[in-house]
Chain A
């Protein structure tokens, strides 16, 4: 053990650490790979025992995800004639025809609208507030910052009751605007704290120089600080977007139709027929964008997670 060194790990140590971490990572990955794979199985393959690792991939799950279908008698099918498209052919195998689109597309679109809307708003408001907190002498600054942070400790269900009543009163129940405002309020605490950290890191001398050059405060903010803070703003935006994208508790309590997002909808796909491939397909489409994002932007994201934690 005398050769042990923390600062310069030996080859053996590196190998050992590497193998353990890689094995853990592969185990972690297994459920995700499995769910993606299930999306391309036929319903029979999805519930096969032993679980099928090799199977014939099919887009049935995806077709079922996006359509509603009705079963028809052989005579009625005869009348309609042969299937026209590849997706018709898939459902025809079960004596069914496609009767219309499912709700999944709408719900997915709602997730996009509400996600991006609330992200934009929380970044916009958050940047302004963070700038003011970072650069000005604001009375009761520490108390206000703590107040902003403390709003995050509230269990969503605890405030859901009055928000439910308030939204009902204001006509915001089940509307995009209501959900955007709500998610913005939830995200603001994070965005103000993170952005304040990023803006604090920009040397104040830049602005002072700009002010001496005759810029107004607002121009200095707009033309000097904002461009410097782009990276920080972008990574904060991703956090806000991921939160809104993933949120379930408020969505399930406050929306039911027009503004319902995907997370409360996906569990309902299963239906009575236990259509696991369709659930897996819906899950895959919903989760994969986040995974791709995470891998592409890993540097900023990982920094943001620890940064948000460590700064406080």
Chain B
């Protein structure tokens, strides 16, 4: 399913001029993890680690970007759902 919402600002992704509005968001997402679920716009629970991040949507599961190349020898997150407690 194509993304419906911007992971940075949470607004609806459009086409043409609508999509162009999110070019700065795409640039921001090079230096930060997504905060909004692209499917449902829920705010995700995000954990950043020194070499990666995970973003959990309560409806659509987890996204992650763990840089395994530099984490060699390190134990990764515990399975696809992670092990985060929410405060």
> Do these two chains really belong together in a complex?
no
Q: Which residues of B are at the interface with A, using a C-beta cutoff of 8 A?
A: none
Q: What is the interface of chain A, defined by CB distance below 8 A to chain B?
A: none
